[in-house]
């Protein structure tokens, strides 16, 4: 039974990893924005760690348990995990870079080498402790390292997304308020089973599922949970009003509301003119703001004027 369960979880892991990478590639090819290249690298690095550092343990135990001693098997497992950790470090780097970009921040040329130097220095220290501290179980040291560093970089990434640099975020507040907390929730769901893990199979399966499922969140949300009109590289100029509405996927009723907003009508005046309720006007206006990545009527009017959409 456990044999078939292992196969099932592995197939699911492959499907989730492939799905995250494919969605990231589609986002990059569709919108041609740097953040989606960064997202793709994040997916590749984090899932490479998942298969090399996490599933590698299962493969080693399945293939070598009958041929070598338990002590040697544990040593092989520890080495494989340590060799897989550089991939997760690069994954964290891509997550931080993604958060920099999506929150409107810019990092200087020293950020990447400093980040890598700090993280690899800590990793070397962990490896050294494993080799000299016989009283500390390597599995406890490695999982403690992963929990601590994963917590640190995920919280930093979430904070940058939630509090953008001088309101320069390239995504709408609607999305920021969902992405940032979701990353923290995923972090907690991943760390809880790992915190209690001590070679228990069911807890290991739970961690694997939360790891692979959690890391597909960003490409899934950006593909299906939001509207990405703001990610076009350069705004087109000299659009007609109809072309403007088509560009931002504005519906016919929303088109009427955009037109009246540009004519200077208030929500109540729009409600009276179009024979719809005031709440309906507010709901449509909120969706228009999300689609066009603006936060106010003034910004919407300015966007229309900027694109000469008249």
- Distance, in Å, from the CA atom of 6 to the CA atom of 197, rounded to the nearest integer, reads 17
Contact in structure between 288 and 300 (CB atoms under 8 Å) = yes
What is the CA angle 248-254-256, rounded to 5? 115
Domain 2-227: which CATH number of 1.20.1070, 2.60.40, 1.10.3470, 3.90.550: 1.20.1070
Most confident of 97-106, 154-163, 238-247: 154-163
Does residue 295 register a pLDDT over 80? no
The string of pLDDT tens digits covering residues 182-224 is: 999 999 999 999 888 877 778 888 899 999 999 999 999 988 8
The string of pLDDT tens digits covering residues 91-134 is: 999 999 999 988 888 777 889 999 999 999 999 998 888 778 76
Helix (H) or strand (E) run with residue 3 in it: helix 2-31
Q: Where are the CATH 1.20.1070 domain residues in the chain?
A: 2-227
- Distance, in Å, from the CA atom of 141 to the CA atom of 58, rounded to the nearest integer, reads 19
Does residue 309 register a pLDDT over 50? no
Q: Where are the CATH 1.10.10.10 domain residues in the chain?
A: 241-306
Is the dihedral angle over the CA atoms 122, 85, 17, 193 positive or is it negative?
A: negative
Number of Cβ within a 10 Å radius of residue 188: 13
Q: Which fold has domain 241-306?
A: Arc Repressor Mutant, subunit A (1.10.10)
Is the dihedral angle over the CA atoms 48, 54, 55, 57 positive or is it negative?
A: positive
pLDDT band at 33 (very low <50, low <70, confident <90, very high): confident
Confidence (pTM): 0.76
What is the CA angle 290-294-296, rounded to 5? 110
- Distance, in Å, from the CA atom of 200 to the CA atom of 177, rounded to the nearest integer, reads 36
- Distance, in Å, from the CA atom of 108 to the CA atom of 173, rounded to the nearest integer, reads 26
């Amino acid at each position: 039974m456990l044999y078939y369960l292992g196969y099932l979880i592995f197939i699911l892991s492959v499907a989730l990893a492939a799905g995250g990478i494919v969605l990231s590639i589609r986002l990059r090819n569709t919108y041609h924005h740097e953040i989606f290249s960064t997202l793709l690298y994040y997916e590749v690095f984090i899932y490479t760690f998942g298969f090399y550092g996490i599933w590698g343990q299962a493969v080693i135990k399945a293939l070598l348990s009958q041929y070598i001693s338990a002590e040697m098997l544990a040593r092989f497992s520890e080495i494989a995990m340590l060799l897989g950790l550089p991939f997760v470090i690069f994954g964290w780097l891509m997550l931080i870079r993604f958060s920099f970009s999506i929150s409107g921040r810019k990092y200087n040329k020293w950020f990447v080498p400093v980040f890598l130097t700090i993280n690899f220095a800590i990793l070397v220290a962990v490896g050294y402790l494993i080799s000299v501290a016989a009283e500390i179980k390597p599995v406890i040291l490695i999982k403690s390292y992963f929990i601590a560093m994963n917590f640190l970089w995920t919280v930093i990434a979430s904070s940058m997304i939630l509090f953008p640099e001088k309101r320069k975020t390239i995504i709408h507040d609607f999305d920021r308020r969902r992405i940032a907390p979701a990353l923290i929730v995923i972090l907690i769901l991943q760390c809880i089973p790992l915190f209690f893990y001590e070679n228990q199979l069911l807890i290991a399966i739970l961690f694997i599922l939360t790891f692979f499922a959690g890391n597909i969140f960003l490409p899934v949300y950006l593909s299906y949970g939001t509207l990405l009109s703001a990610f076009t590289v350069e705004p087109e100029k000299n659009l007609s009003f109809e072309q403007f509405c088509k560009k931002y996927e504005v519906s016919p009723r929303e088109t009427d509301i955009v037109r009246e907003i540009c004519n200077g009508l208030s929500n109540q005046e729009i409600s009276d003119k179009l024979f719809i309720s005031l709440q309906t006007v507010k709901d449509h206006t909120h969706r228009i703001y999300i689609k066009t990545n603006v936060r106010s009527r003034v910004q919407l009017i300015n966007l229309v004027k900027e694109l000469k959409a008249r």
